[in-house]
Amino acid sequence: MSSGANDSVSRRETLAATGTPVLPARVSAPVHRRPAIMQEPVLVLNATFEPINVTAVRRAMVLLLKGVAQAEETNHSEIHSARRAVRVPSVIRLLAYRHIPQQTRALSRKNILLRDRNTCQFCVRVFSASELTLDHVVPRSRGGRSSWENLVACCYQCNNRKGDRTPEEAGIKLARRPRPFTLYTSRQLMRLIGHRDEKWRKYLFY
Ligand SMILES: [Zn+2]
């Protein structure tokens, strides 16, 4: 890795630490004090243009500065580093192809809630993460496994109502059959996050 790349990273760290880019004296452009922009979502494409992830502007800038990715789409804002002004990326593409395994998401509470969009799969109401628990559709006492297909987001009220029974026994219905967190699910989420950004659409096959 060249020293130039290290410079880039430390410059990014400076940006992250202060929240406001440092302007060299000779640049006359107005300073945009918008640290919130560093948290804006950026669509990440594989080298083949296949959408693979959503990241924040801050992380995307690091990938650009390291030369790992290039910007495919930018928005109207600019970020001023010590040496230059950089357009804020909206879509970036990795320069080297990265193999993405079919099942990229670990089975975790966080990912189950993400898949189910913080929606109780029985009463179909949206809750905050702390108001949700995980329900084994087929209870563990009946041999139900802890798997993508048997775990769903569930509010405490529905969880109590269901108890140690199957949905049929409890007389409640699952909103939809739970599925593994596949690339398809990820893409659905990308669409949700990116629906306000026109520039994402052509990459997400609208
Ligand atoms: Zn519920």
Cα–Cα distance between 192 and 186 in angstroms, integer?
10
Question: How far away, in angstroms, is 2 Cα from ligand 1 center?
Answer: 54
Question: How far away, in angstroms, is 127 Cα from ligand 1 center?
Answer: 9
Question: How far away, in angstroms, is 111 Cα from ligand 1 center?
Answer: 18
Question: How far away, in angstroms, is 79 Cα from ligand 1 center?
Answer: 44
**Stated length of the chain:** 206
CB atoms within 10 A of CB 116: 20
Cα–Cα distance between 61 and 80 in angstroms, integer?
12
pLDDT truncated to tens, each residue of the chain (206 aa)? Answer: 344 444 443 333 333 333 333 333 333 334 445 568 888 889 999 998 988 888 889 999 999 999 999 999 998 788 777 777 888 999 999 999 988 765 556 778 888 888 898 999 999 999 999 999 999 999 999 999 998 899 999 999 999 999 999 999 999 999 998 987 776 667 777 777 766 677 887 887 65
Instruction: Evaluate whether 72 touches 43 at the Cβ level (below 8 Å).
Output: no
Enumerate domains of the chain plus CATH numbers: 3-102+192-204 (no CATH), 109-170 (1.10.30.50)
Instruction: Work out the widest C-alpha separation in the chain, in whole angstroms.
Output: 73
**pTM (global) more than 0.85:** no
CA 27 distance to own-chain centroid = 34
Map tokens 């693979």 to a residue: 52
Cα–Cα distance between 52 and 60 in angstroms, integer?
13
